[in-house]
Amino acid sequence: MEREKRNDMSFSRKRSFTFGAYGGPESAEDNILDILDSPTTESKPFLSASSNQRDTELFEIIEKLQGSRIDEQRCEFPLPLKSQLLTIGGDLLLILPSKLGGYWIDPPLDRLVDVSPTSSYHGLDPESYDIMERDAEAKIYHEFFRSRYHHSFTAVDPSLGPLVLSCVLGGRGEQAAGDTKKLCFMSHRMKECSLHGVFSVSLFPNIPSAVELAKMLCDRVTVSKFEVVSYLKAPELITAFDEHRVSPNFKFGILCQKDRQFTEEDILSNNEESEEFKEFLSILGETIQLQGFTGFRGGLDVCHGQTGSEAVFTSFQGREIMFHVATKLPFTEGDPQQLQRKRHIGNDIVALVYQEGQTPFLSDVIKSHFLHCFLVVRRIQKEEQTGEPAYQVSVTAREDVPPFGPVLPDPPIFTDRLLLREFLLTKLINAEISCYKAQQFSRLELRTRSSLLESLQAELSTRSQCMMGDPSLSALPSSEGARGVSEGSGGFIENFKRAIRVRSHSFETLGVPRKSGSSASQKPKTEKDGER
């Protein structure tokens, strides 16, 4: 009674939703839309994340995520929906769109006319469940340059900022064709992107300079001189930069939405795991003990038990996946928002929602700056012939997230557990990769790349001077530990944090000014003991 009273009081702040614009067949779904369109009393305007938030600086957003967001994160259904929606007969949709828009749903509402395990089925075979490439060109330097004798150069362009150029002579059939047929392969790193190219040395009477090579790939280069990189560990640093976007590890949130649960608070407050939910988790992966776990931990505590004692983990096609299961994360009495749980799930980019019952999931009910996509799964009636449970799947994502595979079968029903696992894991990975192309993440990635490149160029330049015998730089400490591969293996958010740490570490220890335009021109201010 006390919980119901609290929920009813919370609905005094109402939010009106209308869905008539989406159309659809004349069925129970139309009745839902009519109810959602019904007027509410004492309605108050809803303050949401609109264009003002989109214009917020991304670094401020990162800081904001660490603070209290209780009022900002609240997103509730209006009273008429809660009181009338549950009285409608028949199967309800898995996902309902928000009145404010901003999300797409797959399959669309007009396709869900007849969804049942016995409907005619057509879809893709598991062999076509291909995982998208995060960055297909990231390993070019590691695979082609590092095993050959090559040179790297650095410069700070007045308009383009820091530049790192690598080139190598070589090519297939070069020995048979003679030296004049040799090819020159180049990799040119700028803030916006990396450019790769190849040309025949015979086009030039002499081997071109680094400036000429750079201008062949980008005619916007205006710098008149490059510095030679002579630091012995330069290939390791360059490889770490090129592959900072590539990670074999992923972390996803898992929410359990029980019947009659409409709000974020209700969903995050679930503690009990039904046998049905446990069975579904077993499809995704294995329940492991966090204490002493040595695999990819996805930000969970494996030493002191501060993030619970168990989690769900799996390996899939050479990738490690950690699931942040809400019911396994710590529950805080007296905190309706359950921020101890949301600090993990709210910082994931993709989450999976498992529905127990017929209550639909609203696209924007979970308020988060990072969550851009939800996969929603509902267990429906058992398949008559095999007696196995069937699962219905639907997907929703923010409107600036490009579509991604594998394609949902028609109807979106799975009766084979192995096929469901293959589909969901592939879909989750591709969803995160596709979300990186959304406006918010693409801007954040650009800042991350710019910061890492600025740090890389400054360190390569400074340590090369040290190798050449500059006495003022001979005792500089190494900052390689700050950009270890393990730190960047946790995904996009960890790469951003790593960029900030690396940049801060490099600037402070090397004494390099923070402005990119002069990072290579000024001398370090301090000297420190022995290189580690």
pLDDT value at residue 203? 79
What is the CB neighbour count within 10 angstroms for residue 520? Answer: 20
Q: Which of 440, 456, 471 is nearest to 234 (CA)?
A: 456
Q: pLDDT tens digits for 129-143? A: 888 887 788 889 998
d(CA 211, CA 201): 15
Confidence of residue 339 (pLDDT cuts 50, 70, 90): confident
CATH architecture of the region 247-436: 3-Layer(aba) Sandwich (3.40)
Cβ(79)–Cβ(14) under 8 Å? yes
One fold for 139-172+180-243 and 247-436 = no
What are the percentages of helix, strand and coil residues in the chain, rounded to 5?
Answer: 35, 20, 45
pLDDT at 419 over 50: yes
CATH architecture of the region 139-172+180-243: 2-Layer Sandwich (3.30)
Confidence of residue 117 (pLDDT cuts 50, 70, 90): very low
List Cα–Cα distances, 86 to 24, 35, 99, 163, 259, in angstroms. 20, 11, 20, 60, 9
Give the type of residue at 125: D
Give φ, ψ of 7 to 5 degrees.
-65, -40
pLDDT value at residue 101? 85
Residue bearing the bigger pLDDT, 87 or 283: 283
Give φ, ψ of 57 to 5 degrees.
-60, 135
pLDDT at 235 over 50: yes
pLDDT value at residue 429? 95
Confidence of residue 22 (pLDDT cuts 50, 70, 90): very low
Domain boundaries, the chain: 139-172+180-243, 247-436
Specify whether the backbone of 156 is left (phi greater than 0), alpha (psi in -120 to 50) or beta.
beta
24-28, 68-72, 490-494: lowest mean pLDDT where?
24-28
Q: Which of 501, 68, 492 is nearest to 298 (CA)?
A: 492
**Greatest mean pLDDT among 24-28, 329-333, 512-516:** 329-333
Tracing tokens 């000024």 back to the chain, one arrives at 522
